[in-house]
Copies of this chain bind each other. A is one copy, B any other.
């Protein structure tokens, strides 16, 4: 039906539209919460008919699963450490802090997903995996820093990782941890870890 050479790449176009719908749903959840997520609004944001949305996602739940994937993708892409061994820990703290500051939508969606996972075992599994990966990564950074002498060796890296992750995670709840408080917390974390700038 289409020559290999000048083929209209249907799979690609289809994927584009799928992604556009997922991104629109992501935006809606960030702005209005699951409480205010309306499939019609998502379709309208992309400029397609509501029936078209159901062509790509048979149910609202399927669309939400798409949002979960997207959110995990966005979040995990920030996790990978970079920079020299000594700086990776501080880099990570700053990266996550900045991620939530620059794209608060991701924080909002992550928090919405965290709450929803209490009622959705499948989602709970996904969230747990992501969270475990995060915890392991932070713990790895801590161990390396300790080995390199940048950290007091008597620290239990598992426990410290829990505080780090907990503190960073709480920045997704703006009502509880305002921007200023989030900065204070991260700064104090750096002091305790002995990796403060100055």
> Which residues of B are found within 8 Å of A174, using beta-carbon distances?
114, 117-118
> Which residues of B are found within 8 Å of A189, using beta-carbon distances?
163
Q: Do A176 and B115 touch (CB < 8 A)?
A: no
Please give me the residue from chain B that is nearest to A113 by CB atom.
Answer: B175
**Interface: A159 (CB within 8 A):** yes
Q: Do B166 and A182 touch (CB < 8 A)?
A: yes
A168, chain B: closest CB distance, angstroms:
8
> Which residues of B are found within 8 Å of A158, using beta-carbon distances?
184
Q: Do A112 and B114 touch (CB < 8 A)?
A: no
> Which residues of B are found within 8 Å of A57, using beta-carbon distances?
none
Q: How large is the interface on A (under 10, 10 to 19, 20 to 34, 35 or more residues)?
A: 35 or more
> Which residues of B are found within 8 Å of A114, using beta-carbon distances?
111, 173-176
Query: Chain A interface mostly helix, strand, loop or mixed?
Result: helix
**Interface: A181 (CB within 8 A):** yes
- Write the A171-198 contact mask toward B (1 if CB under 8 angstroms, else 0): 1111111100110110111011000000
- Write the A132-175 contact mask toward B (1 if CB under 8 angstroms, else 0): 00010000000000000000000010111011011101111111
Please give me the residue from chain B that is nearest to A123 by CB atom.
Answer: B175
A59, chain B: closest CB distance, angstroms:
16
Contacts A116-B33, A119-B36; A162 near B184 (Cβ below 8 A): yes
> Which residues of B are found within 8 Å of A32, using beta-carbon distances?
119
Q: Do B111 and A115 touch (CB < 8 A)?
A: yes
Q: Chain A residues in contact with chain B, CB under 8 A?
A: 31-36, 108, 111-119, 124, 127-128, 131, 135, 156, 158-160, 162-163, 165-167, 169-178, 181-182, 184-185, 187-189, 191-192
